């Protein structure tokens, strides 16, 4: 099964690296957010980060099941903002990229005939779209 799963494992590891980076980025924002406008949102950054942790773990379990080696290296962090609006802008951009990446990964799983992975990715995609809404709402969108 590992031969057939190679493109699937590769895309899952790319997603996992992005999730690991998002965890770091969002937790950093949770720690840094201050002020009357920001403090009520600190929990949102933390909550989304914890959801990303769950995604990273789900991806790792699937990669392992498919005979791959789950990456432990985060991808690039998309933002280094310290102001609330800039943080939310960076995080929305991160989620926009995640949504696009998950849609590509779903196609890779479909092409490989891996229905289980496709369904797993669709579930995570739904969460990522919810994160888009969270950060969009912070920005008043």
Q: What is the pTM of this model?
A: 0.93
CATH class of 2-138: mainly alpha
Q: What is the pLDDT of residues 11-44, one digit of tens each?
A: 999 999 999 999 999 999 999 998 888 888 999 9
Q: What is the pLDDT of residues 56-76, one digit of tens each?
A: 999 999 999 999 999 999 999
Residue 138, burial from CB neighbour count under 10 angstroms (0-12, 13-18, 19+)? buried
- Which DSSP symbol is given to 67? T
């Amino acid at each position: 099964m590992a031969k057939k799963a190679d493109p699937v494992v590769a895309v899952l590891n790319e997603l996992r690296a992005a999730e690991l980076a998002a965890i770091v980025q969002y937790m950093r924002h949770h720690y840094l957010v201050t002020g009357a406008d920001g403090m009520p949102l600190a929990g949102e950054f933390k909550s989304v980060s914890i959801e990303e942790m769950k995604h990273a773990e789900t991806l790792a379990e699937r990669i392992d099941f498919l005979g791959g080696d789950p990456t432990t290296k985060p991808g690039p962090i998309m933002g280094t903002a310290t102001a609330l609006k800039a943080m939310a802008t960076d995080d929305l951009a991160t989620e926009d990229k995640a949504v696009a990446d998950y849609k590509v990964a779903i196609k890779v799983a479909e092409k490989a005939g891996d229905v289980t992975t496709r369904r797993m990715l669709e579930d995570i995609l739904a969460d990522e779209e919810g994160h888009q809404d969270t950060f969009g709402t912070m920005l008043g969108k």
